[in-house]
């Protein structure tokens, strides 16, 4: 574990140093991990341990001969990125790829050769590249992909999936599963679970979303994204993209509403919360901005988030000094944080400390004209106040030269969040590994249940499988896996897991799974018996109560 942590930490420093945030993210991540209870700190990385490899998925080559399918190039990369992320890997985002292309002086639509793809991956510090293509065979879409091992400069054998064009999402979900098995032969999440992860997404909404993030014209992008969210109101990535468009055109109220639709615990959650906070701040809703920034800070209290939360507090006429203190502690090398702390200290009656912080700001950024002017004024302020005592000159001077507003961080450092999160993940994984097997399994099951309650079956199965790996006799893990199997349509496996869970330790959860399976199969009597057993074990279980009422209604209707 130490070697893995040391290696990952080295990468954190390399990537963060490039953005000038190494100290800040490490400070925040370590402090956060120390403060956060283990039961709350479990993460996807912690569950899987070794799946944190960074992947670069390139747009697929369109070999169909149909220009109308060009949108599928980017769609393939988006779908694979989503599944790889759910599987515990670290796929680089489209924004990361666009940044790297720009850094290398290449156009956004560039289709790289193997050599240039490796250069691109090395620029982004990626471990693996996914390259692929798609074509049409009659009415079937055929997708093919290969993995490029960047450190060893080797390429895997091609992996191919095919199906009807209308099943495009399922085709690429299956391809993602095949590639995941190539990346980790021991990966034990079922293919049906990968396919089920994308089953709720409408293809037409997904197409509109892809067109909305790739069209060069801003109005066309906006139109596509608005159509996407109308077709699929729960599609979080489309809301995120729409929020970015509205924010970019200073439609702050619309942006705040769009960002509010993004799943808070999803991969875009922190960024959406940050920009929602900014949108509310620029709209004058300072209380709402404070809440939004505070929610992000609870995930990872990085300096830019704490700073903006402090600004939102200050704009309401309250004292944000403590938040500015935390921002400076998290990142002492950013001049603006010292500037804000200085302004806040002076406003709240601590001129000596304010002067010291403003001096530090000027030391870090000697070219800051506003800070230089304030520093000079503040140095003479005590003398002015003394000579003007009783004359009113001091108050007149204060009115003529009011203290400035605190400075806002206007951009979200996604790389810093990801890398700080990686450090926390490693710490959580080490903490989890130190627990006795039964306790480790219980904590993994709790995380799996949380994902299951949010409808994220792929993530849920990962945690339940990890719990079973930790403790094969965990009835809770087998019951949770039974529910995953039921939701993904594998009724035989669901029944098998539920019966195993009952054998290990009878539970309402396992009986409910069996009852639902029998209800769906029309076995009302058996379903009723199983619901009754669930209620014997947990009389107040609302799920078992509702299931029992549903069975009674159907039984009564059948008798009539």
Q: Give the domain CATH number at 378.
A: 1.25.40.10
Q: How many residues does the chain have?
A: 560
Same structural domain, 386 and 481 = no
Beta bridge partners of 131: 146
Q: Packing angle between helix 252-260 and helix 236-248, nearest 10 degrees?
A: 160
Do 22 and 160 share a structural domain?
A: yes
| Whether residues 127 and 24 fall in one domain | yes
CATH number of the CATH domain containing 73: 3.40.50.10070
What pLDDT is attached to residue 423? 77
Nearest of 422, 419, 421 to residue 19 by alpha carbon: 419
57 belongs to a structural domain:
yes
From 474, 469, 484, 548, select the one nearest 507 (Cα to Cα): 474
Q: Are 294 and 309 in contact (CB under 8 A)?
A: yes
Q: Which residues contact 247 (CB under 8 A, 6 or more apart)?
A: 255, 259, 275, 278, 279
Q: What is the dihedral of CA 194, 42, 19, 270, to 10 degrees?
A: 70
Q: Do residues 384 and 452 share a domain?
A: no
Domain assignment present for residue 459? The answer is yes
Backbone region of residue 59 per phi and psi (left: phi > 0; alpha: psi in -120 to 50; beta: other values): beta
Last residue of a domain, one of 205, 225, 249: 205
Gap between the Cα atoms of 130 and 117, Å rounded: 10
Structural domain contains residue 342: yes
Give the number of other Cβ atoms within 10 Å of residue 365's Cβ: 16
Tokens 């959580």 belong to which residue? Answer: 428
**pLDDT computed for residue 557 by the predictor:** 61
d(CA 309, CA 408): 9
Q: Are residues 382 and 441 in the same domain?
A: no
Residues 362 and 507 in one domain: no
Interatomic CA distance for residues 438 and 270, integer angstroms:
32
DSSP-derived pairing of the beta strands 140-149 and 154-155: antiparallel
Phi, psi of 224 (to 5 degrees): -65, -45
Paired residues of 55 in beta bridges: 91, 128
**Tokens found for residue 346:** 């002076």
Are both 506 and 464 inside the same structural domain?
yes
Domain span at residue 186 reads 2-205
> How many domains does the structure of the chain reveal?
3
Q: pLDDT tens string for the chain (560 positions)?
A: 223 333 333 333 333 333 344 344 444 444 444 444 333 333 434 444 445 688 989 999 999 999 999 999 999 999 999 999 999 898 988 888 888 777 777 666 666 666 777 777 777 788 889 999 999 999 999 999 999 888 888 889 999 999 999 999 999 999 999 999 999 999 999 999 999 999 989 999 999 999 999 999 999 999 999 999 999 999 999 999 999 999 999 999 999 999 999 999 888 899 999 999 999 999 999 999 999 999 999 988 899 999 999 999 999 999 999 999 999 999 999 999 999 999 999 999 999 999 999 999 999 999 999 999 999 999 886 644 543 444 444 444 444 456 688 999 998 887 777 777 777 778 888 888 889 999 999 999 999 999 999 999 999 999 999 999 999 999 999 999 999 999 999 999 999 999 999 999 999 999 999 999 999 999 999 999 999 999 999 999 999 999 999 999 888 766 55
120 in any annotated domain: yes
Same domain, 371 and 485: no
Q: Using N-to-C axis directions, what is the helix angle for 524-537 and 542-559, rounded to 10°?
A: 150
184, 198 contact by CB (below 8 A): no
DSSP-derived secondary structure for 293-304: HHHHHHH---HH
* Whether residues 143 and 103 fall in one domain: yes
Q: Are 321 and 450 in a shared domain? A: no
Tokens of 432: 């989890």
**pLDDT score, position 76:** 97
Domain contains 429 = no
Look up residue 417 and give its two tokens: 């969040």
The reply to whether 234 falls in a domain is no
Both 109 and 46 in a single domain? yes
Considering the domain architecture, whether residues 335 and 445 belong to the same structural domain is answered as: no
Answer with the one of 205, 240, 271 that is the final residue of a domain.
Answer: 205
* Contact in structure between 68 and 52 (CB atoms under 8 Å): no
Point out the domain boundary residue: 388, 404, 420: 404
Do the bridges between strand 54-57 and strand 128-137 make them parallel or antiparallel, or are there none, so unpaired? parallel
Q: How far is CA 91 from CA 26, 95, 97, 162, in A?
A: 21, 11, 10, 23
pLDDT at 21: 43
* pLDDT recorded at residue 260: 97
C-alpha span between 416 and 300 (Å, rounded): 10
Task: Kindly state whether residue 140 falls inside one of the protein's structural domains.
Answer: yes
Domain presence at residue 229: no
Query: Residues 376, 381, 386, CA angle at the centre, nearest 5°?
Result: 150
Q: Which of 13, 11, 29, 32 is closest to 21 using CA atoms?
A: 13
Instruction: Check residue 109 and give its pLDDT.
Output: 66
């Amino acid at each position: 574990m130490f070697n893995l942590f040391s290696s990952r930490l080295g990468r954190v420093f390399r990537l963060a140093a490039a953005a000038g945030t190494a100290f800040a993210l490490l400070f925040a991540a370590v402090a956060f991990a120390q403060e956060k209870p283990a039961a709350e700190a479990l993460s996807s990385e912690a569950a899987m341990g070794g799946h944190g490899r960074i992947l670069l998925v390139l747009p697929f080559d369109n070999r169909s001969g149909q220009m109308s399918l060009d949108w599928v190039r980017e769609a393939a990369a988006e779908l694979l990125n989503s599944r790889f992320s759910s599987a515990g890997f670290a796929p680089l985002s489209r924004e990361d790829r666009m940044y790297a292309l720009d850094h290398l002086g290449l156009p956004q639509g560039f289709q790289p050769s193997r050599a240039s793809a490796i250069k691109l991956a090395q620029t982004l510090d990626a471990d693996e590249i996914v390259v692929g293509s798609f074509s049409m065979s009659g009415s079937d879409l055929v997708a093919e992909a290969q993995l490029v091992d960047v450190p060893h400069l080797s390429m895997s054998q091609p992996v191919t999936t095919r199906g009807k064009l209308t099943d495009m999402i399922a085709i690429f979900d299956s391809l993602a599963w095949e590639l995941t098995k190539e990346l980790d032969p021991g990966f034990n999440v079922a293919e049906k679970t990968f396919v089920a992860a994308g089953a709720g997404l409408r293809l037409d909404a997904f197409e509109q979303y892809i067109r909305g993030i790739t069209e060069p014209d801003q109005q066309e992008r906006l139109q596509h994204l608005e159509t996407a969210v109308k077709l699929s109101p729960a599609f979080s990535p489309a809301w995120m993209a729409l929020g970015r468009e509205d924010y970019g055109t200073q439609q702050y109220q619309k942006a705040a509403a769009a960002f509010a639709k993004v799943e808070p615990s999803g991969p875009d959650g922190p960024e959406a919360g940050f920009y929602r906070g900014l949108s509310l701040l620029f709209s004058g809703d300072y209380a709402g901005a404070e809440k939004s920034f505070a929610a992000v800070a609870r995930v990872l209290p990085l300096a830019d988030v704490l700073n903006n939360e402090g600004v939102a507090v200050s704009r309401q006429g309250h004292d944000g000094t403590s938040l500015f203190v935390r921002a400076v502690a998290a990142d002492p090398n950013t001049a603006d944080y010292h500037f804000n702390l200085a302004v806040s200290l002076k406003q709240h009656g601590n001129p000596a400390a304010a002067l010291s912080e403003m001096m530090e700001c000027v030391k870090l950024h000697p070219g800051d004209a506003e800070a230089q002017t304030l520093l000079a004024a503040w140095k003479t302020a005590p003398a002015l106040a003394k000579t003007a005592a009783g004359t009113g000159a001091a108050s007149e001077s204060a009115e003529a030269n009011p203290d400035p507003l605190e400075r806002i961080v206007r951009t979200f450092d996604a790389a810093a969040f990801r890398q700080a999160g990686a450090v926390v993940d490693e710490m959580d994984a080490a903490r989890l590994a130190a627990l006795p097997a039964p306790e480790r399994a219980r904590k993994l099951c709790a995380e799996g249940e949380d994902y299951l309650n949010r409808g994220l079956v792929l993530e849920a199965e990962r945690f339940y499988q990890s719990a079973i790996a930790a403790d094969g006799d965990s009835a809770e893990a087998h019951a949770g896996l039974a529910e995953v199997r039921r939701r993904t349509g594998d009724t035989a496996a669901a029944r098998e897991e539920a019966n195993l869970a009952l054998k290990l330790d009878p539970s309402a959860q396992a009986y409910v799974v069996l009852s639902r399976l029998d209800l769906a199969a029309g076995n009302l009597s058996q379903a009723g018996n199983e619901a009754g057993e669930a209620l014997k074990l947990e009389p107040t279980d609302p799920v078992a109560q509702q299931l029992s009422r549903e069975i009674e209604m159907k039984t009564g209707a059948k008798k009539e």
